[in-house]
Amino acid sequence: MVTPAKLALFRLLPSIDELLHSEPLQPILVRQGRAATLEAARAVLEGLRARIAANEMTEAQIAGAVDDVPREIEERLKTAMAYSLRPVINATGVILHTNLGRAPLSRAALDRIVEVSQGYCNLELDLETGKRGKRDIHVDRLLAKLLAGTRREVATIVVNNNAAAVLLTLNSLAEGGEVIVSRGELVEIGGSFRIPDVMAKSGAVLREVGTTNRTRLADYEGAVNERTKLLLRVHRSNFEIRGFTQQPPLEELSDLARRHGIPLMEDLGSGDVFDLRQVGVHGEPTIADSLRAGVSMVTFSGDKLLGGPQAGLITGVHDLVAKVRSNPLFRALRADKMFHAALEATLLAYLREDYDTLPVLHSMRLTEEAIDQRAQHLTHRLHISTVGLNVEVLPSRSVIGGGSAPGSTLPTRVVAVSSPHLSADAIAEKLRAWTPPIIARVEAGRTLLDLRTVEPEQDAILFAAAKSLLR
């Protein structure tokens, strides 16, 4: 039952229509659009109605609240219309963190995306002839130069990601036939990328050989038959097999493939151009290593160790790449101009040996001493300005991640933060709530900040966030 007195109170509220036509709402309508403003206005009025219905407001209070309505609407819209995909500070020390967007792009790659995408570009136009061109030639040209040392004539095409590259290559080269893979390489990468499942979707039949820990050349040889279309080697991206193990070297596998006139394909996963042995990481083959060993077709990601945008690159001998390109699936999986622009800039950095401009390589090449210096500085500043927070520098390991170099880590120094009043998880949660959100690592009851993956300019943000933990 609504009493006449209450009805009078409700009447103090403006109608939606009055509100939308009121002076203060005009700039908000222009900024945020009619639909969102209308929704926010309805919600604010609904809130006031509920409070009036619950006898929570006097006439004077309602009058004040009505004056405040435009501001309330604006506040609501600030949250509702804010970006949900946001930059964060990666203090985990995991360089290629799939949940955090993998490789950060270089300045040059970002500039290229803007320059090429803000207007029109010659993505598929040959400027000399004026005829239709191919979007892959921009990347193809640079990768051919980078791999010139292998003395193999290769071509490259680009698709949406490496999962697409594997699917497309298998489908193009082996549909209806058999593909021989070692049982030690039937990997799952995560996000439901499993070699047996991708194989099934490609229309090729998986022919497993060997055992989990040992596969010999003879196992491959024994499985070759008239239906065999491809030999496949898969990089064990996220795990290692140790102990009593065996795997034929790529050279032997490629010899076998050649003798039978079957191509050898390798899913490299990360597929780096830069030789990681220079930063003390072993067991991560370069693209050139594979081609030199005789592999006819490699696939790899653009946003793992290469340090570029999400993409799947298919590099191999011309006739095989041509076959993949002519597959109608290629059209369904192709990459946008932004990927091509960013890839071109990324590959140019390798050609110029300008490695430190690529954030992924820069992070990998940071020395333990350089990280220690920043960690000590941050810790020192926190010691001076905070009481009750335990902060110390500890030796630790940064993880490369992203399914690259399984088990390979880089020595680092982390800032360990703990408090008698807050659990490590609670500290991590508070850091995540910071603007920008800070993602830390929690280990053995401590919250760890690894500055290897943090820009030096962001150290000040870590300081402010850590200081605020006491409040």
Ligand X SMILES: *Cc1c(COP(=O)(O)O)cnc(C)c1O
DSSP string, 158-169: EES-HHHHHHHH
- Residues 106 and 413 sit within 8 Å (Cβ to Cβ): no
**Segment lying near ligand X (by CB under 6 A), choices 59-67, 204-212, 233-241, 366-374:** 233-241
Closest approach of ligand X to the CB of residue 166, in Å: 6
User: Residues in the chain, how many?
Assistant: 471
- Cis peptide preceding 248, ω within 30 of 0: no
Backbone phi, psi, residue 265, to 5°: -110, 145
Amino acid at 446: R
Nearer to ligand X, 212 or 373 (CB): 212
Applying CB under 6 A, which of residues 62, 65, 231, 234 lies at the interface with ligand X? 234
DSSP string, 81-112: TS-SS---EE-S--SB-GGGTSSPPPHHHHHH
Nearer to ligand X, 155 or 234 (CB): 234
Distance CA 205, CA 218 (A): 20
Applying CB under 6 A, which of residues 25, 170, 189, 399 lies at the interface with ligand X? 189
Q: Residue 427's closest CA among 100, 91, 85, 86?
A: 91
232 touches ligand X (CB under 6 A): no
Closest approach of ligand X to the CB of residue 301, in Å: 3
286 touches ligand X (CB under 6 A): no
Nearer to ligand X, 229 or 233 (CB): 233
Distance CA 28, CA 26 (A): 5
Distance CA 103, CA 162 (A): 14
Structure tokens at 288: 């050139």
235 touches ligand X (CB under 6 A): yes
Residue nearest to ligand X (CB): 269
Binding to ligand X by CB under 6 A, coded x per residue (else -) over 160-179, reads -xxx--x-------------
413 touches ligand X (CB under 6 A): no
193 touches ligand X (CB under 6 A): yes
**464, HSE (Cβ side, Cα atoms, 13 Å):** 11
Nearer to ligand X, 248 or 271 (CB): 271
301 touches ligand X (CB under 6 A): yes
- Residues 401 and 97 sit within 8 Å (Cβ to Cβ): yes
Closest approach of ligand X to the CB of residue 268, in Å: 7
359 touches ligand X (CB under 6 A): no
Nearer to ligand X, 184 or 312 (CB): 312
Backbone phi, psi, residue 391, to 5°: -130, 130
What is the size of the binding site for ligand X (CB under 6 A)? Answer: 14
Structure tokens at 109: 């790659």
Structure tokens at 14: 């403006």
Closest approach of ligand X to the CB of residue 123, in Å: 22
287 touches ligand X (CB under 6 A): no
271 touches ligand X (CB under 6 A): no
Nearer to ligand X, 219 or 267 (CB): 267
Closest approach of ligand X to the CB of residue 310, in Å: 7
Applying CB under 6 A, which of residues 74, 136, 267, 459 lies at the interface with ligand X? 267
Q: Residue 166's closest CA among 254, 269, 247, 262?
A: 269
Binding to ligand X by CB under 6 A, coded x per residue (else -) over 108-147, reads ----------------------------------------
Nearer to ligand X, 267 or 459 (CB): 267
Distance CA 335, CA 351 (A): 22
237 touches ligand X (CB under 6 A): yes
Closest approach of ligand X to the CB of residue 102, in Å: 8
Strands (E), 304-445: 312-317, 390-399, 409-418, 438-439, 441-443
Q: Residue 178's closest CA among 205, 199, 157, 196?
A: 205
Query: Which residues ranging from 381 to 410 are in contact with ligand X (CB under 6 A)?
Result: 403
Nearer to ligand X, 189 or 253 (CB): 189
DSSP letter (8 states) at residue 334:
B
Interface contacts to ligand X, rule CB under 6 A? 161-163, 166, 189, 193, 234-235, 237, 267, 269, 301, 312, 403
